[in-house]
Amino acid sequence: VEQIKEKLSIVDVVSSYVKLEKAGGNFKARCPFHNEKTPSFLLSPARDSYHCFGCGKGGDIFSFVQDIEGLDFPATLRLLAERAGVSLDARAKRDGGEKAMLYDVLEAATKFFEGELRKSPAAIEYLKSRGITGETAKTFRIGFAPDGWENLVTYLRQKGWQESLIEKAGLSVKGKTNPYDRFRNRVMFPICSTQGKPIAFTGRIMPGGDDQMGKYVNSPETVMYHKSSVLYGLNLAKSSIIKESKVIVVEGQMDAVMIHQAGNENVVAVS
Ligand code: ZN
């Protein structure tokens, strides 16, 4: 409450509901809580409070918003916290907890795909044919999702992850009977936060694979991944972008990977 009061001026809050007139160091208005023709509602910025001499209502921004919006106190607190940009502890903890779990399950999936790449000569051969070195594959944490419907889902469940979380991370699709892997028989490119944590994937179909779902499949929008605000490779490019004061923007992951490999690390893809 104190933090919110520090950040929001009572004048700003009240004036978004009521037309205020300056009256010396104070403001007056026609009271929003009772019907009147001449203003008897007085607002004092210095005291951070208001009082109506007609109906007797008075208080601070909390009581004002509570009354004018018809909300209870917790709802008022949420509304004003948002307006002030103050995070509420309980809510922040709950969201933080889920995000932390989503980061973990996405990291586990990345490790799974990396391991599967090492086991797949065909996928390694494909990357080589595209000119990608082993070192580059490691840097970008490129992996492989094997063919089949439940490889990743089964692996993650065995590791103790809940189905609902796997789905929330965008890794599985709710089937008619069982959830199944979103990415199948695809070379996997993790999309990372600027801190380098995987938040989503792009999967490119293997040559000759069933491309009914498209050559590229992307993670859906999730709590972690907002497509329009993420650039592929930014985690690896940021220091070089700052150094060069320049950034190369390309369309696809493969282009970004190849340009990085050729020595221009200040490259990102819009994917
Ligand atoms: Zn009044």
Does residue 92 surpass a pLDDT of 60? Answer: no
* Ligand 1 centroid distance, CA of 126 (Å): 76
Does residue 59 surpass a pLDDT of 90? Answer: yes
* Ligand 1 centroid distance, CA of 28 (Å): 11
pLDDT at res. 28: 96
Determine which of 1-15, 54-68, 95-109 has the lowest per-residue pLDDT on average.
Answer: 95-109
pTM of the model: 0.66
* Ligand 1 centroid distance, CA of 11 (Å): 17
Q: What band does 70 get if pLDDT is binned at 50, 70 and 90?
A: confident
* Ligand 1 centroid distance, CA of 15 (Å): 16
**Predicted confidence (pLDDT) per residue in 33-51, tens digit:** 998 899 999 999 999 999 9
Residue of 234, 240, 233 lying closest to 266 (CA atoms): 240
Does residue 148 surpass a pLDDT of 70? Answer: yes
Neighbours of ion ligand 1 (CB under 5 A): 31, 33-34, 52, 54-55
pLDDT at res. 91: 55
Q: Give CB contacts under 8 A, 24+ apart, made by 166-170.
A: 166/105, 168/98, 168/102, 168/222, 168/223, 169/102, 169/105, 169/106, 169/109, 169/222, 169/224, 170/200, 170/201, 170/219, 170/220, 170/222, 170/224, 170/225
Burial 25-41 (b: 16+ CB within 10 A, else e): ebbbbbbbbeebeebbb
